[in-house]
Amino acid sequence: MNFEILAPAGSMGSLIAGVRSGANAVYLGGKLFNARRNAGNFNDEELKTAVEYCHARGVRVYLTLNILVSDGEMKEAYDLVKSALEAGVDAFIVQDIGVAKMIRDHFPTARLHASTQMSIMTPAGVKYAESLGFSRVVLPREMSLGEIREIRKSTDIELEIFVHGALCMCVSGQCYLSSMLGSRSGNRGLCAQPCRLPFTARGNKNDAALSLKDLSLIDDLDKLDGITSLKIEGRMKRPEYVSAAVTAVKKAVDGTLTDADRKDLRSVFSRSGFTDGYLTGKRGADMFGARTKEDVVSAKDVLKDIERSYRNEQALLPIDMTFVCKEGEPVKLTASALGKTVTLTGGVPEKAINKPMTEESLTQRLSKLGGTQFYANEINVELDGGLIISASAINELRRNAVEALSKTEKAEIECKPYALEIAEKAPRVPYFTASFKDVSQLPENHPFRRVFIPITSPAEAFEKHSAGVAVPRGMFGCEKKIKERLVELKAAGVKTALCPNLGAYELCKSLGFEVYGDFGLNVYNSVSANMIENPLLSFELTLSQANAVAADGTGIIAYGRLPLMLMRNCPVKAQIGCDRCRKHGELTDRKGYRFPVVCDGYPCVELLNSVPVYMLDRLDEIKTDFAHFYFTTETRDEVANIIKKAETGAKPDFKYTRGLYQRGTV
C-alpha cells in the first residue's frame, strides 16, 4: 500500500514527534485563519523553521486556511499566503471558496486542498472543487467505503480521508451549535465542543447523545485503494498522541501492526474505544462514547515510552555516496538524497606509512550518520592503493554533505499584488422568500416571491404553488437518485432550485435550473457571494456584515429555527429508537432546553435550535435583496401567524433569539 501519512502539528513538539515517527506530510496552522485557533500554531518565523525542518527530512507541509474569512480579513489572508509560500509551504487547506479564488487569482501556482469543511460528499461536489483549481479534496468522515469508491471512479483528483482521531457529531462545515450557543464558531476556528456536554433523548439515561467515539480505520487501510493521503486528526493533542497515531498508521500500512500498538493507541487517547461505523455502514448506538476516567488514567502508563521512541533523531531517509580518492588529487565526495546531489572536495591524500585506507574502512567511516535523518544506502569508493587521509577530514566532508543536502532552497513564488476592491453596495428593501420542510405548511395566500419545497413533494404541489425544489443537505450516496428526481421535476416545469452544498449547486446548474445558494454553502464574504448565484448568506455574519456584502441577489434568514447540526447518525434513534420517536425527536441539554431533531427520506437528520431566530420586527434594518423564512416544525396556522407578524412588523409573543446578527462570533 502506498499512502501519504499526514500528521497533525499544533506545535513544534507535535511536528517533530510526527516527523520522527514516520509521517510523510504534516498540516499546521498560522496564528490566524485556521480551524484550531486554540492550538499553539506558528507565527511567520516559526513556520519558516517548521518548513525547513520538514523539507530537510523529505516531509511536505500543508498550511490550514480552513475557516470562513470576512471582507475585512481578506488582505490579511493574502499576506499569510504570501509569507507561507515564501517559507516554502507545499499546499493550503481551504474551506472558503472566496479565499480559494483569492489565492488562485494572486498566486497561480499555489496548490489548493479542499478542506473537509467544504462538505464535499458527491462526485458533482468534487467536480466543482476541480473547477476552482483544487488539486485534492478532503472527504467527509461520514462516508461509507462504497461512497468513497463512487467518488474515486468519478475523478482523477487526489483524495484524502481521516483515518484516526476525534469524530464530530456533525458533518464538518455544517455545525453551528457552538456559535449559536456561545458565539464560538467552528467555522471560524473556535469551536467550544458543546456537543460533548450532556444531551439526552426523552429522559434516556445516556447523556452523551451528541458525543461519538474517536474514529480509527487502521484495520481498514487495505480497503482504501485509490486514496492518496491518510489523515490523522489532532492538532489540539499532545506530541505523544501524534507519535502513537503516526506509528500505528505507518505499521498498519506496512503490515506490521501489533496488538501492543493498538493498546498504546487506545491508551494515549480514546473515548470508550474507537469506531469505524461510517466506513463500514454500521451506524448506530455503538458509535457513541464519551471520555471516561479509565480513558484518562490509561494514558499515564504509556506516555513516557512513547516519548522515548521519538526523543532522538530518526534515520528515515536514504543517502547515496561516492568517495573518490586518487593519488595526487583532492579527495571528492558526491552525496545524493532528497532529490538533490552535492559534490565536495577535500585535501590531497598522502602515502600511507603503516596502514593504508581500504574500501571497507572508508565505507564504514562514511556510514557513520548517527544523529542525522539519514541512513547509508549505496556507498561507492574509488580508491588508489597505499593512500591515507585523516579520519577527521573524512568526517568533515560527510558532515558538510549532510548539511548541504539538508538546506532548504528559497522558494520562488509567482505572486501578483493584492487587488481586491470591495465595493460598497446600495441598501435594498428586501422582498420575502421561504422554504418549507413539508408542503402541508404552505398557506394558500402568502407574500413570498419564491418558495421552495422538499424534493420529495408531489409533482403537482410544485405546479400548484409555483415552487422551486429544495435539494437535501445530506447527499451521501444519493447523487444518482437526486439527479433522476431533478430531471423529472425539470420536465414537469420546475425552474428553480435551492442548493445547500457545492455538489447540489453544481448538479442543478448542469441540469439548467435557476440556482439559489442555501445557507449551507457558508457564503461569508463578497468574493464568495459573487461566485454563487442568489446566495443566502451565512447566519454567522452580523447583520451589518451581511448588509455590507457587495454582491447582487443576497439574502439572510429573517425567521426560523436555525439548523445547528447536520448529522448522519441520528442521536434520537441511537438512544430510544425510531418507534418511540415517530419523527418527533428532540434532545434536551443540561439546562432543560429542547432541540428538535428532524429527518426526511435522505441519509441525514438535522438538529434545530430550541427557539427560532426572529428579525421580523426589525426588517427595516435588513438591507440585503431578500429576507428568507426558514419553516421547519411550524404548522400551517403558525406559518400564517408568522406571515402576519412580518407584514405588521409585530414583536414576537414567543421565545426567540436574534441569533448572531446582533452579537456575532469571536
Q: What is the pLDDT of residue 39?
A: 73
Q: What is the pLDDT of residue 36?
A: 75
- Residue 117 vs residues 150, 168, 237, 583: alpha-carbon distances, Å: 20, 12, 20, 28
Q: Which residues of the chain have pLDDT under 50?
A: none
* Residue ranges in 210-302 assigned as alpha helix (H): 239-254, 259-268, 277-280, 293-298
Q: What is the pLDDT of residue 421?
A: 79
Q: Is 608 helix (H, G, I), strand (E, B) or coil?
A: strand
HSE toward the beta carbon, residue 541, CA cutoff 13 A: 29
Chain mean position to CA 357: 57
List the one residue out of 468, 453, 490, 409 whose CA is nearest residue 600: 453
Q: 11 φ, ψ to 5°?
A: -155, 170
User: 462526485: which residue's cell?
Assistant: 123
Q: What is the pLDDT of residue 436?
A: 98
- Residue 392 vs residues 353, 373, 388, 396, 518: alpha-carbon distances, Å: 18, 21, 12, 6, 69
Grid cell, residue 350, equals 598522502
Rg (CA), the chain: 29
Consecutive H or E run containing 159:
strand 158-165
Contact (Cβ atoms closer than 8 angstroms) between residue 655 and residue 612: no
